[in-house]
Chains A and B, each alone.
Chain A
């Protein structure tokens, strides 16, 4: 019984981790199609990762051990965070009261090292990216926690597994419209946290306009592969939260729950692509307003739940 459950959990996690680069590929393909281009194959990122991991590395002479540690911490925190989310409708691999704080804390640790690694190079471009990244993050973080607390009120639970899994399912019918609001909020926060249009443009090649990419200017070879992969996993984590909110699956058999998760993540990927091809990147000074509006959605949901 428990062994079977563990296997299903691992299977769900495996699907998420293997499929993570796909979501970026799908987003990119959607964007290309909608803007009338052919675009790279959806599997392109896998090929990129393979190529990068076979390459050698170049390290800047200004950097210290912190810079070498950064890709490791970024990937490790993201992987560990993915064990905290309920993926197949059942409890997550790791689940305890207050694990939402661990989820956010792990992602924050990854960001902390990302920023330190960027500052370690002494490059003004990377300093700029780091500075912008923490600015946006300090707007995202309250929004994320507002959504979490709203979910915890909705499900009456203190762990992510309860908020997004079984307990939420029991009350889902009564709070469905609010859940749509919360999913919208998470979607906006995802665009900001994972550096997508309209907050940041992952396709740009002008350093001055980059936010997230610019912090990787000096990262090369396997290190770059690790960070890019972690980035993809992070995006699919947020996508998985959205799917969990909108499509509670705790009563479904595990395989169909996992299949729904996969379909949902692909759907989110397409949605990201649609947003990227219909919106322009916002002026930097407008980004806080964008994120604040996203958080406002979450607050609205929270007020509805607390009323």
Chain B
């Protein structure tokens, strides 16, 4: 099963890069949805015995991360009439370069960390890199919608960390993560609407104007 796990983790990293490299909002959302799907598959593949817990976790993750949230984001694009381009603060090639650097750092750090991913030794570095790329997206993409995407990736990374502990601390962690994501996106959605109503644009950079 290890090579299947590895393949899925590869695809997770590639979807990270897809978010960094694409210029279309819809592709970003599709990549995050794909990532959610992959994350949902992971517990099934890692735990060779198909416990009810693993199946439940998988179904829940796929439902939330791959279906509900992307649909929600697409709806937000439509409702708020957002421009469908990413409009990043730094270039796409530079973003990819940053991503590669993050990847290198993640692998270097993963060897030092005391945690172990069990059979799936790629799990920790993938989690790290997803967190870092999520942060990169949060930092370099000013659009509120992409901030949501970045936040989602961050959550996905944390979820991957959670998977390493899945056996020891069952269920609670994951449920918390799911809830967390849901609430986070919900709040951001409300924020999106507010910004949209007030300024007719949803660039988070404009949030500074609220300062006065």
Contacts and interface: CB of A to CB of B under 8 A. Distances in A.
The answer on direct contact between A and B (beta carbons under 8 Å) is yes
Interface in A252-307: 286, 288-289, 292-293, 296-297, 299-300, 303-304, 306-307
Interface string B88-102: 000011001101100
Interface in B105-122: 107, 110-111, 122
A289 B111 CA distance: 31
B16 to A, nearest CB: 10
Interface string B188-203: 0000000000000000
B3 A307 contact: no
A57 interface: no
Interface string B1-38: 00100110010011001000101000000000000000
Contacts of A300: 10, 13-14, 17, 100, 103
Contacts of B125: 307
Contacts of B103: 299-300, 303
Nearest to B5: A177
Nearest to A291: B93
B93 A289 contact: yes
Contacts of A304: 107, 122
A145 to B, nearest CB: 15
Nearest to A297: B14
A274 to B, nearest CB: 19
Contacts of B96: 289, 292-293, 296
Contact of A292 (B23, B93, B104, B110): B93
Contacts of B99: 296
A102 interface: no
A217 interface: no
Interface in B52-104: 92-93, 96-97, 99-100, 103-104
Contacts of A307: 107, 110-111, 125
Contact of A177 (B3, B21, B97): B3
A74 interface: no
Given A293-B21, A303-B107, A177 B10 contact: yes
Contact of B93 (A288, A299, A306): A288
B22 to A, nearest CB: 9
Contacts of B100: 296, 299-300, 303
A97 interface: no
Given A289-B21, A296-B100, A177 B7 contact: yes
A296 B107 contact: no
Contacts of B93: 288-289, 292
Contacts of A181: 10
Nearest to B104: A303
A208 interface: no
Contacts of B13: 300
A34 interface: no
A176 interface: yes
A296 B3 contact: no
B10 A293 contact: no
A293 B107 CA distance: 19
Contact of A293 (B7, B17, B111, B122): B17
Of listed A176, A181, A300, A306, residue having the most chain B CB within 10 A: A300
Interface string A163-202: 0000000000000110001000000000000000000000
Contacts of A286: 23
B15 to A, nearest CB: 12
B124 to A, nearest CB: 11
Contacts of A303: 100, 103-104, 107
A303 B96 CA distance: 15
A176 B10 CA distance: 12
A176 B92 contact: no
Contacts of B111: 307
A177 B39 CA distance: 18
Contacts of A297: 14
B42 to A, nearest CB: 15
A292 B3 CA distance: 27
Nearest to B97: A292
Interface string A242-256: 000000000000000
Contacts of A293: 17, 21, 96
Contacts of B6: 177
Interface in A63-85: none
A229 B88 CA distance: 43
Interface of A: 176-177, 181, 286, 288-289, 292-293, 296-297, 299-300, 303-304, 306-307
7 contacts: A289-B93, A289-B96, A292-B97, A293-B17, A296-B96, A296-B100, A297-B14
Name the 8 nearest CB pairs between A and B, nearest first: A307-B107, A292-B93, A289-B92, A299-B100, A177-B6, A293-B21, A296-B96, A289-B93
